[in-house]
Amino acid sequence: MKIALLQCDHVVKELQPAHGDIPDLFKNLFDRVAPEVSLEVFNVTRGEYPDPVNHYDGFISSGARYSVYDKDPWIIRFKEYVRELYDHGRKFVGICFGHQMIAEALGGKCEKSDQGWGIGIKEVKIHKKMPWMQPELDSYRMIVSHADQVAEIPENGEVLGGNSHCPCSIYTVGKNFLGIQAHPEFTPAFEKDIMRVRRDRIGQKAIDEAIPTLNEKTDEVVVTRWIIQFIQEI
């Protein structure tokens, strides 16, 4: 399987020696869960875009420190590209920033959460199970790191799971777009370091509450299989 990874940011330089950059996080995940997946990286912040029609079985967008409603030229162009993928009926999976961009690009709404940052490991309850969600779970736990979240899903969208902090944690739009707020590619060690470098933005109290959750079991292996099966589903 050949997937285009749309890179929307970089890991901050001080953390790269220990954790690598965003493509490394995704490559490590897929090498562990599905080594048959081949990733080709396109840095959309620099205007690098794959052909939206040919060559790839699916497209995955990374997270980013930015907001999808910002007016940076690259964000505006990326929004247009996501619409192109949708119009061409391509399989697209948005992670965090990409999850939010689906809503922003297709007529939904993304905004700052009035509940503050979502950090650490959070549980998401599944409201509706889809055929590609194999093996089945009633809920999953994964690492999150976000201040924005989807407030309104686009027309033809369906929320599949959520929690009290983030009601729209996983959703689809039609048969080809899947948004996941959590980060299957993050490790607990990386999340801990991210919280450290963002301490001034997040606040020490929230970090102190989140740190103990990083010892919990996570379900990124199952959710990554869901992503692959979603892309494969006709």
Q: Specify the long-range contacts of residues 153-156, CB closer than 8 Å, at least 24 apart.
A: 153/103, 153/108, 154/102, 154/103, 154/106, 154/107, 154/108, 155/106, 155/107
Q: How far apart are CA 179 and CA 85, in angstroms?
A: 14
Q: Is 47 left (phi over 0), alpha (psi -120 to 50) or beta?
A: left
**Tokens at 66, concatenated:** 């930015």
Neighbours of 134 (CB within 10 A): 12
Q: Minimal CA–CA distance to 182: which of 134, 135, 144, 220? A: 144
Contact 113, 148 (CB under 8 A): yes
Query: Position of tokens 């899947």?
Result: 178
Active site amino acids: 96, 183, 185
Contact 102, 94 (CB under 8 A): yes
* Bridge-based pairing state of the strands 2-7 and 38-43: parallel
